[in-house]
């Protein structure tokens, strides 16, 4: 960030006194700001006439960025600034097999070989390559090879159920399917060959399947999937690296919404938008560069994996991990960070809070001296989580709380080296992100909770939704509430000092007796109790205008029963910390809280089930981390119907 500020002053004659002034310029003049990112990071443009205006049209949806540009994301990832050919740039750790690391030269060679192999399978510019792969180096290689051809990447983690995979890949008609035969999750071997057969049968567009024998290295590819070729065959022939220059908005990858209701949205992201956004976010906000080893716990089914891979574009070594982060205990990722000399470790807020609850002290027990940053995302991190990272991981490694989403494949609220860290808050609105909190009339608020909106375009906003030819689905999803303004669906408070607080999904708000509160605050109280492993709260409104019902569901630790004493203590904590109106009418124990595969709680689907909606129309079980997690709510809904009939 410091070098960028020096560059702005020297090259643009734009001195800035501090972060607030810099952010204001970045959103007041988005064209000038994003052109500065293009120039500062020396984006390679193959157009003989130049990239054109940075922002040719500012309308939303439909903004046009750098209309003349011809570039390729893979070329920038493989440029690996500041790295020598023999430097290790990709570190692979797995609970299924031995470590695999790649140097810069080896990564480029494997991408070139994979690219040539895909060409032999008939992949051309515009085709889709689908990957049923875990977070391993081969997935990174395949993504870059696909992008280098101008083909489009899409991926699902192998723990996805078959229906979840088919619901996703079936919408985009992939030409080639890359897959593993199975994987290990901790000490459990999980064979996926039967699921792979179902997926292939449901995808008539697939002309070739490539199998990586990951669970059983000696298993032949055509045994795992009849007619398939192997990963080694795909990479068998040496080739020179090459890239296909494409337009700024040419499809790079297709990501998917959670798919808890109906088909998941296939969200198309472009080469230029993802490149510029990730260069800015990773280099400036996260302070990553060639000296760093960057890890974020993710699967290939979550946008944080794409974010992680982009660490290559700023010269960082990317650390991949496949397996159970709780095996053999919650110290697993911290031990891996020590072994791989990781300098930046990112994880979900629930993981960090679980480490705190377990009383872990990784900063004291392990050699984490190289760790200089910790990231958190996926849910709001309570103040206690910030304090745990400071006290028990590292007092000198700032915690970067990040909020964004699959929709933009980035964070738009996050850290900055120029801004302090405040416990329980996200440090700032990130550069180029015109984020506001709107009231019901569409007016910005400061110091009060409102709808999180983005009032000006960002390059990584979706190119579109696959198959949405007229743009109507995109319009309905993000721009129907405030025309011309992106509504994200979260409650946001922007403080007087510019920090941000997310308090939960705006469609899952608790509102009793006129007191509105986000679910994140509710969970912060309940899950701070040592007996509670996880929780979910829903408010069932009364059509007659009464207070309705507030229902709390808790998953307790170590098989503890939910007795009257614990119910009283939970109610007391909520009364004291929030308000008397937020004491639940009923507290129920369940074995597990339903979450998506990326860790999101299913507040709205559970609410709909309890209000009488058919469960199968409410949530796709294959999109859940535990497909059986909704069953207690179905039984409760049935008993409620029986009691009122």
Cβ atoms within 10 Å of 573's Cβ, excluding its own: 16
Q: What pLDDT is stored for residue 243 in this prediction?
A: 97
User: Would you say 317 and 288 are in contact if contact means Cβ atoms under 8 Å apart?
Assistant: no
C-alpha 406, offset from chain centre: 6
- Average pLDDT rounded to a whole number, residues 291-308: 96
Task: Give 242's pLDDT tier (boundaries 50, 70, 90).
Answer: very high
Strand partners, 400: 375
> Which is more confidently placed, 28 or 519?
28
Q: What pLDDT is stored for residue 205 in this prediction?
A: 98
Measured CA angle at 198 (ends 197, 199), to 5 deg? 90
Q: What pLDDT is stored for residue 157 in this prediction?
A: 94
Q: Look at the domain 71-88+102-271 and name its fold.
A: Rossmann fold (3.40.50)
> Which is more confidently placed, 489 or 12?
12
Is residue 261 predicted with pLDDT exceeding 60? no
Q: Out of 33-42, 196-205, 224-233, 568-577, pick the least confident.
A: 568-577
Task: Give 625's pLDDT tier (boundaries 50, 70, 90).
Answer: confident
pLDDT digits (tens, 9 = 90+) for 510-552: 766 556 667 877 888 899 899 999 999 998 876 666 677 899 9
Task: Give 482's pLDDT tier (boundaries 50, 70, 90).
Answer: very high
Q: Are strands 64-65 and 515-517 parallel, antiparallel or unpaired?
A: unpaired
pLDDT digits (tens, 9 = 90+) for 464-475: 999 999 999 999
Q: Out of 457-461, 518-522, 567-571, pick the least confident.
A: 518-522
Q: What is the DSSP string of 64-118?
A: EE-TT--B-HHHHHHH-TT--TTSEEEEEEESSS--EEEEHHHHHHHHHHHHHHH
Q: What pLDDT is stored for residue 549 in this prediction?
A: 87
Query: Which residue has 């939960």 as its token pair?
Result: 504
Helix and strand element counts for the chain (H, E)? 22, 32
Among candidates 327, 281, 289, which has minimal Cα distance to 307?
281
Among candidates 555, 181, 539, 135, which has minimal Cα distance to 354?
555
What is the pLDDT of the chain when averaged over all its residues? Answer: 93
Query: What whole-number distance in Å separates Cα of residue 374 and Cα of residue 345?
Result: 5
Burial of 4 (0-12, 13-18, 19+ CB in 10 A): middle
Q: What pLDDT is stored for residue 622 in this prediction?
A: 76
pLDDT digits (tens, 9 = 90+) for 64-92: 999 999 999 999 999 999 999 999 999 99
Q: Out of 284-288, 474-478, 617-621, pick the least confident.
A: 617-621
Which residues have C-beta within 8 Å of that of residue 478, sequence separation ≥ 6? 61, 407, 486, 487, 488
Phi, psi angles (nearest 5°) of residue 476 = -70, -35
Q: What pLDDT is stored for residue 509 in this prediction?
A: 67
Residue 555, SS3?
Answer: strand
Among candidates 18, 27, 21, 11, which has minimal Cα distance to 432?
27
Q: What pLDDT is stored for residue 545 in this prediction?
A: 60
User: Would you say 175 and 207 are in contact if contact means Cβ atoms under 8 Å apart?
Assistant: yes
Task: Give 247's pLDDT tier (boundaries 50, 70, 90).
Answer: very high
CATH number of 508-644: 3.30.300.30
Task: Give 581's pLDDT tier (boundaries 50, 70, 90).
Answer: confident
Which residues have C-beta within 8 Å of that of residue 564, sequence separation ≥ 6? none
Strand partners, 8: none
Dump strand ranges (E) for 433-531: 435-438, 444-445, 449-454, 464-465, 486-494, 500-505, 510-512, 515-517
- Residue 374's alpha-carbon distances to 420, 425, 450, in angstroms, are 14, 15, 28
Query: What whole-number distance in Å separates Cα of residue 101 and Cα of residue 547?
Result: 58
Task: Give 328's pLDDT tier (boundaries 50, 70, 90).
Answer: very high
Is residue 260 predicted with pLDDT exceeding 60? no
Q: Give the best-scoring range by mean pLDDT among 130-144, 152-166, 505-519.
A: 130-144
Cβ atoms within 10 Å of 440's Cβ, excluding its own: 8
Give kind and range of the element (H or E) at residue 40.
Answer: helix 30-40
User: Would you say 344 and 307 are in contact if contact means Cβ atoms under 8 Å apart?
Assistant: no
User: Would you say 140 and 280 are in contact if contact means Cβ atoms under 8 Å apart?
Assistant: no
Phi, psi angles (nearest 5°) of residue 355 = -65, -40
382 DSSP assignment: P
Q: What pLDDT is stored for residue 55 in this prediction?
A: 97
| Tokens encoding 518 | 């986000």
Query: What whole-number distance in Å separates Cα of residue 63 and Cα of residue 61?
Result: 6
- Using a pLDDT cut of 90, give the percent of the chain over it: 82
pLDDT digits (tens, 9 = 90+) for 156-166: 999 988 988 99
Query: What whole-number distance in Å separates Cα of residue 454 and Cα of residue 433?
Result: 7
Task: Give 378's pLDDT tier (boundaries 50, 70, 90).
Answer: confident
Task: Give 305's pLDDT tier (boundaries 50, 70, 90).
Answer: very high
| Tokens encoding 3 | 């070098």
Domain locations along the chain? 2-65, 71-88+102-271, 508-644
| Tokens encoding 150 | 């101008």
Query: Which residue has 């860790």 as its token pair?
Result: 599
Peptide bond connecting 61 to the previous residue in cis, omega within 30 degrees of 0: yes
Q: What pLDDT is stored for residue 273 in this prediction?
A: 98
Among candidates 81, 138, 111, 79, which has minimal Cα distance to 292?
81
Phi, psi angles (nearest 5°) of residue 410 = -170, 180
Q: What pLDDT is stored for residue 150 in this prediction?
A: 98
Among candidates 176, 125, 175, which has minimal Cα distance to 151?
125
């Amino acid at each position: 960030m410091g070098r960028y500020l020096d560059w702005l002053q020297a090259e643009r004659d734009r001195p800035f006194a501090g972060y607030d002034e810099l952010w204001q310029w970045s959103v007041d003049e988005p064209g000038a700001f994003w052109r500065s990112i293009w120039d500062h990071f020396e984006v390679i443009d193959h157009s003989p006439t130049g990239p054109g205006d940075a922002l040719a049209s500012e309308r939303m949806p439909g903004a046009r960025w750098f209309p003349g540009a011809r570039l390729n994301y893979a070329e920038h990832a493989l440029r690996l600034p500041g790295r020598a050919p023999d430097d290790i740039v990709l570190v692979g750790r797995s609970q299924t097999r031995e470590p695999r690391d790649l140097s810069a030269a080896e990564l480029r060679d494997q991408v070139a070989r994979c690219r040539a192999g895909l060409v032999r399978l008939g992949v051309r510019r515009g085709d889709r390559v689908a990957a049923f792969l875990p977070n391993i180096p081969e997935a990174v290689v395949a993504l870059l090879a696909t992008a280098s051809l101008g083909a489009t990447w899409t991926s699902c983690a192998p723990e996805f159920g078959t229906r979840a995979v088919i619901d996703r890949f079936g919408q985009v008609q992939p030409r080639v399917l890359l897959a593993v035969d199975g994987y290990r999750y901790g000490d459990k071997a999980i064979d996926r060959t039967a699921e792979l057969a179902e997926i292939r049968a449901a995808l008539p567009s697939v002309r070739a399947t490539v199998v990586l024998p990951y669970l059983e290295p000696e298993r032949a590819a055509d045994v795992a999937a009849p007619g398939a070729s192997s990963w080694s065959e795909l990479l068998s022939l040496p080739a020179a690296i090459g890239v296909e220059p494409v337009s700024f908005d040419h499809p790079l990858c297709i990501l998917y919404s959670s798919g808890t209701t109906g088909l998941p949205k296939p969200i198309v992201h472009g080469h230029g938008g993802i490149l510029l956004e990730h260069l800015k976010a990773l280099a400036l906000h996260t302070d990553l560069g060639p000296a760093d080893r960057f890890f974020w716990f993710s699967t290939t089914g979550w946008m944080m994996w794409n974010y992680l891979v982009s660490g290559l574009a700023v010269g960082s070594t990317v650390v991949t991990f496949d397996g159970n982060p709780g095996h053999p205990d919650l110290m697993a990722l911290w031990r891996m960070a020590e072994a791989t000399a990781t300098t930046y470790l990112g994880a979900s807020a629930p993981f960090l809070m679980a480490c705190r609850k377990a009383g872990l002290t990784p900063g004291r027990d392990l050699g984490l001296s190289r760790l200089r940053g910790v990231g958190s995302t996926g849910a709001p991190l309570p103040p206690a989580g910030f304090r745990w990272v400071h006290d028990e991981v590292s007092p000198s490694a700032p915690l970067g709380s990040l909020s964004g989403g699959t929709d933009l494949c980035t964070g738009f609220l996050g850290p900055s080296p120029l801004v302090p860290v405040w416990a329980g808050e996200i440090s700032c609105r990130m550069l180029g992100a015109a984020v506001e909190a709107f009231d019901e009339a569409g007016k910005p608020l400061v110091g009060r909770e409102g709808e999180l909106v983005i009032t000006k375009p960002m390059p990584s906003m979706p190119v579109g939704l696959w198959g949405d030819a007229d743009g109507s689905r995109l319009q309905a999803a993000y721009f129907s509430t405030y025309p011309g303004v992106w509504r994200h669906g979260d409650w946001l408070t922007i403080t007087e000092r510019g920090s941000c607080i997310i308090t939960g999904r705006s469609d899952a708000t608790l509102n009793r007796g006129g007191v509105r509160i986000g679910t994140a605050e509710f969970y912060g109280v309940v899950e701070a109790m040592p007996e509670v492993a996880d929780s979910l709260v829903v408010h069932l409104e009364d059509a007659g205008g009464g207070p309705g019902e507030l229902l709390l569901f808790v998953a307790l630790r170590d098989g503890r029963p939910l007795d009257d004493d614990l119910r009283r203590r939970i109610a007391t904590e909520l009364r004291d910390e929030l308000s008397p109106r937020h004491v639940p009418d009923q507290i129920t124990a369940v074995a597990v809280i339903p979450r998506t595969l990326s860790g999101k709680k299913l507040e709205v689907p559970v609410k709909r089930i309890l209000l009488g909606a058919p469960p199968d129309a409410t949530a796709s079980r294959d999109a859940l981390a535990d497909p059986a997690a909704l069953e207690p709510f179905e039984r409760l809904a049935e008993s409620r119907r029986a009691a009122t009939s």
